[in-house]
Amino acid sequence: MHTRIAEIQSYLRHNDHSLAVRRILDASLDTADGALLQEAIRVSQSYRQYKQGELPASFFESAQQLLNKINTVTERFAYQSTRLVTARDISKTYGSGNFSLQPISIQINTGDVLGVVGENGNGKTTLLRCMAGQLALDGGNLEFPLLEHPDHYDIKHHLAFIPQRIPRWYGLLKDNLHFAAAISGITGEENRIMVDFMLERLDLTPYAHLTWTQISSGYRTRFEIARILLQKPRLLILDEPLANLDINAQQSILTDLRFMAKSVHNPMGILLSSQQLHEVEKIADTVLLIKNGSCLFRTGEQEKTAAAFVIELETTANREALLNILNGNGELQFNGGFYTITSKELQAQQILTKLVTGNIPITYFRDITHSTKRFI
Ligand SMILES: Nc1ncnc2c1ncn2[C@@H]1O[C@H](COP(=O)(O)OP(=O)(O)OP(=O)(O)O)[C@@H](O)[C@H]1O
């Protein structure tokens, strides 16, 4: 059994049904077999139908049958990561002179997810718009090694930018997807199947016959992702895609984006900005922290590895109790919400053990030693 299929079977066994169905859709798309894709769409539709109640045995049978079929063509799952874009020391100062993006270098390959995090007004959108070719650079350059003649048209054709505010569309959601697919050359039966696939994949089927004004901003973001994916971009840039989503949707969209980046059907690079450090760090291959227009920290950077172990802690215990536990082996800071413990001697696991054995109630504990959170 191919590892990807075994993984989906494990999701099904452990009742991670939503994730299993999403991954079944992805796997069937990667087989490039229209019949398998339609079967996957039916499995997803039947899952949605029973979402509120108990899933019947027939759902698991059809899912398993489909997985067996997909498993016979798993050689189609192979793909090679290629270099997509290299930005060398790109910089930008706005005409008003009130903000400068300092020279930043970035490389994105197919399959990569690169997250840009930072507080409001620090230059995330400016960096993304420079990468998207929407702002003229003041310094540095962009290279697109995959494109033979990287002129403006070619770059625009292979690159998609989803802004923070989704532009309004007219008519029904579904019709707009049919149209987007058609202008990308997907016609006839394939157009119908691909739109049904996107509706299921992004959980949009119940909203298919609604208009812009009838759906929430979170579902508008999902629509925009579906519309853009039908165009098969090589590089997908999303500015604050999590801004309009609830906490569950944030995590599932991020997980989906990570899977989609590595899809065989359309492997792509993804660059996204967000203020949700933890969520982005969970799924991104690399995270850049932007502060005052400069890249302050990039995950994985050796030279900026923490000189001490750092953890965040939320507890009802008081400062004295915590200092007692640390016994001089760490510093304690309180920001009004949670404590930060910095220790040269104790690793996160050791601090946790001491807290537990000391009967300290813990409502939140996070090791941020290698996180961008250390710098905020
Ligand atoms: N077109 C523009 N002309 C002049 N200044 C601008 C322009 N666009 C943005 N700025 C300024 O550049 C700075 C960085 O803005 P940017 O939108 O890149 O930050 P951000 O990190 O994306 O913020 P947010 O999280 O609030 O979207 C801000 O001070 C902003 O006011």
The pLDDT tens digits for 310-332 are 999 999 999 999 999 999 999 99
Whole-angstrom Cα distance, residue 39 to residue 21?
A: 12
Where a domain ends, among 29, 46, 77? Answer: 77
Same domain for 118 and 263: yes
**pLDDT of residue 153 exceeding 80:** no
Cβ–ligand 1 distance for 293 under 6 Å, the answer no
Both 311 and 246 in a single domain?
Answer: no
Residues 132, 258 within the same domain:
yes
User: Are residues 157 and 89 part of one domain?
Assistant: yes
Testing ligand 1's pocket by substitution, the residue of 90, 98, 130 carrying the most ligand atoms inside 8 A of its CB is 98
The number of folded domains in the chain is: 3
- Per-residue pLDDT tens digits for 47-93: 998 866 688 899 999 999 999 999 998 888 887 888 999 999 999 99
Ligand 1 atom having least distance to the Cα of 118: 21
Indicate whether residue 124 lines ligand 1 (CB < 6 A): yes
Average of per-residue pLDDT values in the chain: 91
Question: Is the shortest distance between the CB of 118 and ligand 1 below 6 Å?
Answer: yes
- 45 and 186 share a domain? no
Tell me: do 67 and 97 sit in the same domain: no
CA 127 to ligand 1: nearest atom: 18
Quick count: other Cβ atoms within 10 Å of Cβ 189?
10
Question: The complex's ipTM?
Answer: 0.96
* 72 and 13 part of one domain: yes
- From 249, 275, 298, the end of a domain falls on 298
Degrees, nearest 5: CA angle 185-188-190: 75
Q: Give the tokens for residue 14.
A: 């452990």
Same domain, yes or no: 288 and 336:
no
User: Cα–Cα–Cα angle for 197, 199, 201, nearest 5°?
Assistant: 65
Task: State both tokens at 262.
Answer: 């590595």
- What is the domain extent for residue 27? 3-77
22 and 152: one domain? Answer: no
Same-domain check for residues 42 and 114: no
**Quick check: CB of 121 below 6 Å from ligand 1?**
yes
Give me the pLDDT at residue 10, please.
96
User: 125: CA distance to ligand 1 center in Å?
Assistant: 7
Of 46, 77, 108, the position where a domain reaches its end is 77
Tokens of 65: 């049958």
- Asked if 90 contacts 130 with a C-beta cutoff of 8 angstroms, the reply is yes
Q: What is this structure's pTM?
A: 0.89
**Is 146 a residue whose pLDDT tops 80?**
no
Q: Which atom of ligand 1 is nearest to the CA of 293?
A: 14
